């Protein structure tokens, strides 16, 4: 449980941090809260040569308004998000999902940005980001680009983030009017990660479902938007039978995970159950 030796660098500014990453060296890893990376280091499953600690960069902390939504610093902790009145007002889904992440200590250290960048296929935050149509601001010494959450998660622990880039900000658009949101999770009891985690944003207009986003984690080899569910539900009345008919598509097109906690058959079945429950809850709220 002792990591292999590594060089530790704590840049004083974002510019310095980006300079440290500029070489695009695969042996360099970024650390913020460390709650995903440190366990891997201790088990020597990850043996980076250099850690760049961005956890104290003021530029990457804080939560502010972005249009009628939110801009969350790439290294803002879960606790900061939970404590933010603005986040609670504009995006209650975040708090709902973060509330169940780890424990107080983990939430005080762990970061939303770190969870997204780490891209554990069973972590909660990617599903939430997908459902919220989050935009991820990726910056390198060479410049900045903005990537949609849908498209950011590529494989287990692999994202669109390049080795020379930092996730500097998470932008969350304002929710549609009268939106209902929820996060529902079947938890793997040991890790607290999701066997199935479902984030939903849904809205009605004129008696039909006008907006629906379903982010799913734990099921596929990376978190995904259940587009088949969304397509099946959009434009319907959002009633129980519409929801049930849509929810069966929860794992469509996915390579469903299998492990000692939940095999493929069970995960697939639970994806449908939890998508249905999440849609019911969110629509009841919408």
Partner 1 sequence: MLGVAVKRVEDPRFITGKGRFLDDIKLPGMTYLAILRSPYAHANILSIDTSAARQMPGVVAVFTGADIPYNPLPMAWPAGGVAGIQNNVNMPRVLATDDVKWSGEGVAAVVAETPEQAADALEGIAVEWDPLPTVVDAEKATQPGAPQLHENAPNNIVFEWTVGDKAGTDAAIDAAEVVVRQRIVNHRLIPNPMEVRGDIGLYNPGTEEYTVWMSSQTPHIQRLLLTAFVTGIPEHKVRVIAPDVGGAFGTKIFCYADMALVMFASKAIGGRPVKWVEGRRESYQSTIHGRDHITYLEIAGSRDGTVSGIRVKTFANLGGRLSTIGPGIPTTLYGRVLSGCYKIPNVWCEVTGVYTNTTFVDAYRGAGRPEATYVVERAMDLFAAEIGMDRAELRRRNFIQPDQFPYDNPSGLGTASGGAKIYIDSGDYEPAMDKALAAVGYDGLPALKAEAASRGKLLGLGLSTYIEVCGVAPSKWIGAVGEGWGAAMWESANIRVHLTGKTVLTAGTSPQGQGHETTYAQVLSHELGIPMDDIVVQHSDTQGTPFGYGSYGSRTSSVGMTAAIKAAGKIREKARRFAAHMLEASVDDIEVDGADYFVRGSPEKKKTIQEIAFALDLGFDPPEGMEPYLDETAYWDTPNCTWPFGTHVAIVEVDRESGHVDLVRYLAVDDVGRKINPLIVDGQLHGGIAQGVGQALWEQAVYDDHGQLLSGSMMDYAIPRASWFPPIELDETITPSPVNPIGVKGVGEAGAIASTAAVANAVIDALSGFGIRHLDMPYTAQTVWRAMQVAEVQP
The residue (of 204 and 267) whose beta carbon lies closer to partner 1 is 267
Residue 45 as a binder of partner 1 (CB under 8 A): the answer is no
CA 133, 31, 218, 257 torsion: positive or negative? positive
Stretch that binds partner 1, among 26-34, 38-46, 83-91, 243-251 (CB under 8 A): 38-46
Residue 186 as a binder of partner 1 (CB under 8 A): the answer is yes
Please answer whether residues 234 and 250 qualify as being in contact, where contact means their C-beta atoms are separated by less than 8 angstroms.
no
The distance of closest approach from Cβ of residue 151 to partner 1 in the complex, given in angstroms and rounded to an integer, is: 28
Could you tell me which of 9, 46, 30 has the C-alpha nearest to residue 163?
30
Given 60, 132, 270, 271, the residue binding partner 1 (CB under 8 A): 270
Given 15, 43, 142, 231, the residue binding partner 1 (CB under 8 A): 43
Distances, alpha carbon 95 to alpha carbons 100, 107, 267, 272, in Å: 9, 11, 25, 24
Reading across the β-sheet that carries 224-225, which strands appear in turn? Answer: 180-187, 194-205, 208-217, 224-225
The residue (of 143 and 190) whose beta carbon lies closer to partner 1 is 190
Residues 248-267 that bind partner 1 (CB under 8 A): 260-263, 266
**What would the x/- binding string for partner 1 be over residues 188 to 227, using CB under 8 A?**
xxxx---x--------------------------------
Residue 156 as a binder of partner 1 (CB under 8 A): the answer is no
Binding-residue total with partner 1 (CB under 8 A): 22
Rounded (5°) CA angle 182-185-191: 140
Q: Find the helix or strand (DSSP H, E) in which 144 lies.
A: strand 143-148
Residue 269 as a binder of partner 1 (CB under 8 A): the answer is yes
The residue (of 42 and 145) whose beta carbon lies closer to partner 1 is 42
Q: Cα 260 to chain center, whole Å?
A: 24
Q: What is the DSSP letter of 3?
A: P
The residue (of 74 and 114) whose beta carbon lies closer to partner 1 is 114
Beta bridge partners of 66: 69
Q: Which residues contact 42 (CB under 8 A, 6 or more apart)?
A: 1, 2, 3
Stretch that binds partner 1, among 10-18, 152-160, 182-190, 237-245 (CB under 8 A): 182-190
Distances, alpha carbon 128 to alpha carbons 26, 85, 281, in Å: 28, 19, 15
| DSSP-assigned letters across all residues of 221-246 | SS-EE-HHHHHHHTTS---HHHHHHH
Residue 39 as a binder of partner 1 (CB under 8 A): the answer is yes
Residues 119-138 that bind partner 1 (CB under 8 A): none
The residue (of 160 and 245) whose beta carbon lies closer to partner 1 is 245
The residue (of 212 and 270) whose beta carbon lies closer to partner 1 is 270
Q: Find the helix or strand (DSSP H, E) in which 166 lies.
A: strand 166-172
The distance of closest approach from Cβ of residue 273 to partner 1 in the complex, given in angstroms and rounded to an integer, is: 5
Summarize as ranges the residues that interact with partner 1 (CB under 8 A). Answer: 1-2, 4-5, 39, 42-43, 186, 188-191, 195, 260-263, 266, 269-270, 273-274
């Amino acid at each position: 449980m002792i990591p292999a030796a590594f060089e530790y660098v704590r840049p004083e500014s974002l510019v310095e941090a980006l300079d440290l990453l500029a070489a695009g060296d695969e042996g360099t890893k970024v650390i913020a809260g460390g709650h995903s990376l440190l366990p891997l280091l201790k088990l020597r499953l990850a043996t980076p040569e250099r850690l760049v600690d961005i956890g104290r960069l003021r530029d990457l902390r804080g939560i502010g308004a972005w249009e009628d939504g939110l801009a969350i610093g790439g290294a803002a902790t879960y606790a900061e998000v939970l404590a933010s009145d603005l986040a609670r007002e504009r995006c209650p889904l975040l708090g709902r999902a973060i509330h169940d992440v780890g424990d107080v200590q983990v939430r005080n250290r762990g970061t939303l940005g770190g969870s997204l960048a780490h891209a554990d296929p069973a972590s909660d935050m990617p599903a939430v980001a997908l459902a919220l149509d989050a935009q991820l601001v990726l910056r390198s010494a060479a410049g900045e680009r903005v990537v949609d959450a849908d498209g950011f998660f590529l494989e287990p622990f692999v994202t669109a983030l390049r080795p020379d880039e930092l996730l500097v900000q998470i932008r969350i658009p304002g929710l549609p009017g009268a939106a209902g949101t929820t996060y529902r999770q079947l938890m793997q009891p040991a890790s607290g990660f999701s066997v199935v985690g479902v984030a939903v944003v849904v809205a009605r207009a004129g008696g039909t479902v006008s907006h629906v986003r379903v982010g799913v984690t734990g099921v596929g080899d990376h978190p995904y938007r259940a587009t088949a569910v969304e397509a099946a539900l959009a434009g319907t009345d959002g009633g129980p039978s519409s929801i049930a008919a849509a929810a069966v598509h929860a794992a469509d097109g996915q390579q469903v995970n299998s492990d000692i906690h939940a095999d493929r058959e069970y995960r697939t079945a639970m994806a449908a159950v939890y998508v249905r429950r999440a849609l019911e809850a969110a629509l009841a709220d919408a």
